[in-house]
Amino acid sequence: MCGIVGYWNNQKNALPILIDSLKKLEYRGYDSFGFVTISDSKLYVERQIGKVSSVKCRDLPGIVGIGHTRWATHGKVTETNTHPHRDCTNTIAVVHNGIIENFQEIKSSLIEKGHRFLSETDTEILAHLIEEDLKFGMSLKNSVMKTGSLIKGRNAFVVLHALTKEIIAFRNGSPLIIGIKKDSNEIFLASDIQAFLDKTKEVMYLDDEELVLIKENPEFYDAKNGEKIEKRLISIAGEVEESQKGDYSHFMLKEIMDQKETIISAINQDDLEIMHVAKEINEAKGIFFIGCGTAARVCHFAEYVFSHIANKHINFITASEFENYKHFLLPETLVIAISQSGETADVLEALEVAKQKGSKIISVVNVSNSSMTKISDYSFLINAGVEKAVASTKATTSQMAITTLLAYACAGKLREGDRVLVDLAGKVNDMLNPRYSEHIKKLAQIIHKKENILIIGRGLNYPISLESAIKIMEVSYIHAQGFAGGELKHGPIALVEEGTPVIVLVGNENTGEVINNAIEVKSRGAYVIGIASKNNQAFDYWIKTPNTDEITTPIANLIPIQLLSFYLGILRGHDVDYPRSLAKSVTVK
């Protein structure tokens, strides 16, 4: 949620760097954006509604500045609510990620002291809190420390002071990274390294309850006691090209097609490490898989996979509900968290609960040095590369591949797991071709004006029906629901009327029952779409999937749903990379 950038140097105009950096963070929020720079001890501000990539900014003078792209939480999408926010003296500017849970009581106290508020946001109180402290001679660093300790919730904020030309940032729960380019004496700051990866790969990480003061050189401090901290400069591996669209029209389409390679990349893990984690799983007394949104559906899939392959019972819990299960946590319990970003607030809070109980934590993530990897006892990187589209595609199938491989390892069948997943990757590579995409696009043309779509699956394909519904809703804004095929007659079949699209996800074994479900809805007028390796007379439209091992069929079945969602969104005129009201990294509760 929301993206922060900052830039400090001796010579260059800051605005072009800030704009370029913020464009790379639009997946974090794209309701509105703003910048502030300093020149002649004055703040120069630009704030606009919309995406920074589609709006022209006026020139702002100055070689130091900060910027923000917003995903609205407190206050409507208006220019007044857009960051940065300023104090009454117009010398302090603030950008902020997170939610300040106690902002109302703080705001009331500041109003009593004579402060004037212009926005509906929680962020604006930060500027006024610092103004109040500086009024009585407190240093900017000490004021930021005090403010950070006062506010409640998971937050990160950056302050720019017009008179001292200092940038100072505080983190507690929301990521901030500092980039250093020594040869040109440039310092970058951002919520995500992608903001400046094309300019430098030398970084320092700000950890929770720490702050950084940027003026000439970054200085790091413990925000609890003000003591200076020495930080190690880390060189980051990775290619800038990973985050570019290349020849594709949209990031989502590129990332769907990337699955030709990413499934293989995901299972390219060290065998000894896989077996070590498998041993931890086999010896644990209670196993919980947790995640949010699409990652939660992967956890649900893992519940089935471990049952089928390893004869092992695991518990899947949506991360936001995990605290209700804390009474079952023991030091011998294992919690496995799945996330693309590694920064999802609900997941991090669930892991803090697990830590308090002494439980071991394993994370499956796509971003190294994320908050999740730091809190975990062990982490697997899914190696999917940068995923910019908000709707997760290649990260999802990579997560599914790793959980499948872990299940095989727990069963003592790691080599067999490698074989089935390599076989799947080859067949996905063959499947993703232009003719296949055109076939799915034709289906989208048939159903894109419908307002309700149902998806059914059984067994391993039931969690995929739920993820399919998420994908369709995220990108096309069509109402979609996934159901277990056996539950149709217990209520959902009442939703079926003439022409209702019903997508049937078919496995490669024991297909009779789900085909019977297809016939049941067809008899009530449904337009039946079969996603299966073989055609059936119950299907009005057939999307062929490869004939794979039963365990990997759900991964193969999900990919055409991703393509269908993409084309439905395009045909309905939506921004498929950045759907409304959604953000890639959900760093607030």
Top pLDDT among 244 and 280 is at: 280
Q: What percentage of residues in the chain have a pLDDT greater than 90?
A: 78
Q: How many CA atoms lie within 13 A of 558 on its CB side?
A: 33
Q: How confident is the model at residue 588 (pLDDT cuts 50, 70, 90)?
A: low
Tell me: the pLDDT tens digits for 520-538? 999 999 999 999 999 999 9
Q: How confident is the model at residue 369 (pLDDT cuts 50, 70, 90)?
A: confident
Tell me: the pLDDT tens digits for 403-453? 999 999 999 999 999 999 999 999 999 999 999 999 999 999 999 999 999
Residues 449, 365 contacting (CB under 8 angstroms): no
Query: What element of type H or E holds 548?
Result: none
Tell me: the pLDDT tens digits for 14-72? 999 999 998 888 777 778 899 999 999 999 999 998 888 776 777 899 999 999 988 77
* pLDDT exceeds cutoff 80 at 151: yes
Least confident piece of the model among 140-154, 470-484, 506-520, 566-580:
506-520
Tell me: the pLDDT tens digits for 332-362? 999 999 999 888 889 999 999 999 999 999 9
> Of the candidates 141, 130, 144, 66, which has an alpha carbon nearest to the alpha carbon of residue 92?
130
Distance separating alpha carbons of residues 118 and 156, to the nearest angstrom: 21
Distance separating alpha carbons of residues 243 and 385, to the nearest angstrom: 8
Residues 194, 24 contacting (CB under 8 angstroms): yes
Distance, C-alpha 186 to centroid of its chain: 29
Least confident piece of the model among 143-152, 237-246, 512-521:
237-246
Phi, psi of 575 (to 5 degrees): -85, 95
Residues 427, 388 contacting (CB under 8 angstroms): no
Residue 241: per-residue pLDDT: 45
Distance separating alpha carbons of residues 168 and 177, to the nearest angstrom: 13
Tell me: the pLDDT tens digits for 82-112? 999 999 999 999 999 988 999 999 999 999 9
- Domains delineated in the chain: 3-237 (3.60.20.10), 242-427 (3.40.50.10490), 433-589 (3.40.50.10490)
Query: What element of type H or E holds 261?
Result: helix 259-266
* pLDDT exceeds cutoff 60 at 285: yes
Top pLDDT among 566 and 12 is at: 566
Residue 67: per-residue pLDDT: 94
Tell me: the pLDDT tens digits for 227-264? 999 998 988 765 444 557 778 899 999 999 999 999 99
Mean pLDDT across the stretch 123-149?
Answer: 95
Residue 200: per-residue pLDDT: 93
Q: How many CA atoms lie within 13 A of 362 on its CB side?
A: 24
| Sequence-ordered strand ranges (E) for 71-216 | 85-86, 92-98, 155-161, 166-172, 176-181, 186-190, 202-206, 210-215
Active centre residues (catalytic): 2, 584
| Arithmetic mean of pLDDT over the chain | 92
* pLDDT exceeds cutoff 80 at 74: no
Residue 315: per-residue pLDDT: 95
Tell me: the pLDDT tens digits for 293-341? 999 999 999 999 999 999 999 999 999 999 999 999 999 999 999 999 8
What is the layout of strands, in order, in the sheet containing 85-86?
85-86, 92-98, 155-161, 166-172, 210-215, 217-222, 228-229
Residue 384: per-residue pLDDT: 92
Tell me: the pLDDT tens digits for 180-226? 998 888 999 998 888 898 899 899 999 889 999 998 889 999 999 99
* pLDDT exceeds cutoff 70 at 375: yes
